[in-house]
Amino acid sequence: MNLAEKILAAHCGRKVVAPGEFINARVDMVLSNDITAPIAINEFRRLGVSKVFDKSKIVMVADHFVPNKDILSAEQAKQMREFCKEYGIRFYDVGEMGIEHVLLPEQGLVLPGDVVIGADSHTCTYGAVGAFATGMGSTDIAVAMATGDIWMKVPPTIKYVYHGQLGKWVGGKDLILYTIGEIGVDGALYAAMEFTGEAIEELSMDGRFTMANMAIEAGGKAGLFHVDNKTQLYIKSRARQSYLVYESDNDAEYQDVIEYDVTAIEPQVSLPHSPANAKPVTKVGGIKIDQSVIGSCTNGRIEDLRLAAQILKRHKVHQGIRCIILPGTQQVYLDALAEGLIETFVKAGAAVSTPTCGPCLGGHMGVLAEGERCISTTNRNFVGRMGSPKSEVYLANPAVAAASAVTGKITHPDEVMK
């Protein structure tokens, strides 16, 4: 069996599972946020049960509309707060919270070999630590909170092998945008994406989180990385309990094996209105922007902020351009503060926000007006994703987003770092 099948088999009490089979699997973590949790809470109460299956395996995070932007978002957060207090569930609130998919790995709440489900499509992020993690609907989340089980079909696995050495300014965001550009937004439909190869071995944990995060943008059910020394070092100081590491068998079967040579890949930009509309930044340059957003569950980690600061330390944000930077968690914020990155951003003319998903989904803290263009390190650029349906979103890595903020147009980092 391959990695995904090994984990799922272990969680449904079977020695072997195969793609297409339906299974009941136990879960190690159930997650929801301030958009999806209220629906799950309402459905949970309809079940008529008196307690959750395991309060230590459920987490709720307020991150999409926080700090609350209006009365409705305040009511949603209040409902979560009260429910978590009633059932003894861990709740991350303003002041200690972060963007859920940055926060949970940081807190050691998701571990290798886990099955993790979340009422958010980017739950697949946790595959970076060797977990099988996937998004589900709020009704599924309600049932899982009550029973600790999920019902699902075992997905096939597609193996992606990345050969060669990454070039300057090229990281996980560029690899996943390039891949989605090659296979399309349904290229891995309901498949587990297994990322391997020497380029992946060299990739940092932050870069792996970015790639796993966007597996869903290729239609993937999950995105998984094998546990290596980098993973173990990341997990070692964070893990709150023991865990099991699973490995694909040498004779594991895959739906397909796709190989890439990354040597010639340059920083990528996905043009509106699809992550699959990816092109090398040198083929896109010159498009004027109004806003640059650096952050989100895709690129809000400390390595991402360091990359942006490397550009902004020597430059100012272009006149008339709004540059918004969102550390992924309070800890990322503190680390950036200690390293002087926050000062760099403020002196460059950028605005630094408390952790929030706000701009990514057009919620707040960076909503676009009609006709405006934004280059963003987020994960989606659908019509109306960040505001007006007549606005445009371009996806890129933090270095490209920072360089573009300096010039006021989509720019290769080399152009401002000469």
Angle at which helices 330-338 and 302-312 cross, to 10°: 40
Segment 140-154 mean pLDDT: 97
pLDDT band at 10 (very low <50, low <70, confident <90, very high): very high
> Quick one: pLDDT at residue 336?
98
Same domain, 234 and 302: no
Same domain, 37 and 147: yes
Where a domain ends, among 260, 285, 320? 260
Nearest-5° Cα angle at 326, 138 to 323: 125
The pair of structure tokens assigned to 123 is: 């739950």
Same domain, 246 and 136: yes
Same domain, 172 and 295: no
Amino acid making up residue 231 = T
Segment 7-30 mean pLDDT: 97
Cβ distance 195 to 223 under 8 Å? yes
Same domain, 231 and 341: no
Concatenating the DSSP letter of every residue in 377-406 gives SSS---TTTTB-TT-EEEE--HHHHHHHHH
Q: Which of 373, 367, 297 has its CA nearest to residue 332?
A: 297
Q: Tokens 């706000």: give the residue.
A: 358
Question: What whole-number distance in Å separates Cα of residue 360 and Cα of residue 393?
Answer: 10
Same domain, 243 and 375: no
> Quick one: pLDDT at residue 269?
98
CA dihedral of 70, 337, 173, 103, whole degrees rounded to 10: -60
> Quick one: pLDDT at residue 352?
97
Cβ distance 368 to 388 under 8 Å? yes
- pTM for the model stands at 0.96
CATH assignment of the domain containing 392: 3.30.499.10
Same domain, 275 and 252: no
Same domain, 40 and 181: yes
For residue 220, is pLDDT > 80? yes
Same domain, 272 and 412: yes
Condensed to tens digits (0 to 9), the pLDDT of residues 338-374 reads 999 999 999 999 999 999 999 999 999 999 999 999 9
Of the ranges 113-122, 235-244, 367-376, 392-401, which one carries the lowest mean pLDDT score?
235-244
Same domain, 278 and 161: no
> CA 260 → CA 197, 201, 242, 265, 279, distances in Å?
9, 14, 35, 10, 16
Q: Which domain holds residue 293?
A: 268-416
Cβ distance 193 to 160 under 8 Å? yes
Where a domain ends, among 211, 231, 260? 260
Same domain, 293 and 198: no
> CA 72 → CA 59, 91, 144, distances in Å?
21, 19, 26
In the chain, how many domains are there? 2
